A = this chain, B = another copy of it.
């Protein structure tokens, strides 16, 4: 059974393919009557448009590329899975498909661009999660619109969608301070990603406003240069609370504290970030920040689609507000202002 084309429909109805095209695409220039007839026959015959022909003519693919660095896959964490699922769903509503591509460590190092770009399969690109500067430099020169999702980088003029990390971290740290905590640690390697850094700055902003000075011993790295997690080196004495740059490491921290017979939250409060699965499977469940992925994604998709239409428009750094999810991992500090 051959695929059926517009001209098959045209022949059967005794009209031209032009009219079929107009009818099917809801363009003006056909009577409502004819339009209905065409649409009916098309659906009865199971007509499916030949996208290659349309794309060739219109010079548009109706595909958006989604790039993810290999490390985020190996992580076995679902964060970017949720995100990409959401992206794909939003794209679909606007008539686009999502083509995913994993940038392997090797390709990232060698600056090899994704197939979907080299073969002109996409009209725009969303970069999901931070990658090497040099690679981003290469991808930046690409001749289709591009946006960064969930990170940004200095000296890049690329539009990006990020969670308002600084403000969220500031707010959640404020909450700890309101609960009488004065010794508060931060867990995260502050040079690893823009998110970790901004969350640190929000934490610091809160300390400044509370008149608490920053103690370098209280900043605990959680990963190495490759992004691999490392064992946590906790300070002694411990602070009475920790702000963690993500739920995963908050979960690790809680496990570590338990082994030291430190009770959470009675002896030590812990807060996380991302509202990931780690925040709910942990015991106690972790107070955290929900980054509002649906809103981030909706914005990102809207912007990339706009940029496909109007490539010269600039959106800059778009911040999306997060929301604190109160759970069971924080408590009022009773020890009091003994210092």
Binding site for B on A (CB under 8 A): 1, 3, 48-53, 55-56, 61-63, 68, 70, 73, 75-78, 80-82, 84-86, 88-89, 92, 97-102, 104, 115-121, 143, 251, 255, 276-278, 281, 283
Contact = CB atoms under 8 A, between A and B. Distances in A.
Contact of A63 (B75, B81, B99, B278): B99
A239 to B, nearest CB: 24
A42 to B, nearest CB: 11
Contacts of A118: 48-49
Contacts of A85: 68, 70, 73, 102
Closest 5 pairs (CB-CB, A-B) = A81-B81, A73-B85, A52-B55, A52-B56, A78-B78
Given A75-B78, A85-B102, A92-B101, 13 more contacts: A48-B117, A48-B119, A52-B120, A76-B82, A80-B81, A89-B102, A92-B115, A97-B101, A98-B100, A99-B100, A255-B281, A278-B281, A281-B281
Contact of A89 (B61, B86, B104): B104
Contacts of A84: 100
Nearest to A75: B78
Contacts of A120: 3, 48-52
A141 to B, nearest CB: 10
Nearest to A101: B88
A276 B81 CA distance: 15
Contact of A53 (B56, B116, B121): B56
A269 to B, nearest CB: 21
Contact of A115 (B1, B55, B97, B277): B97
A53 B52 CA distance: 7
B281 A251 contact: yes
Given A52-B52, A100-B100, A120-B48, A81 B89 contact: no
A118 B62 CA distance: 13
Contacts of A55: 52
A97 B73 contact: no
B98 A99 contact: yes
Contacts of A89: 102, 104
A73 B82 contact: yes
A119 B51 contact: yes
A255 B277 contact: no
Contact of A116 (B97, B119, B251, B255): B97
A278 B251 CA distance: 12
A52 B70 CA distance: 28
Contacts of A119: 48-49, 51, 62, 97
A121 B96 CA distance: 11
Given A89-B104, A121-B51, A76 B115 contact: no
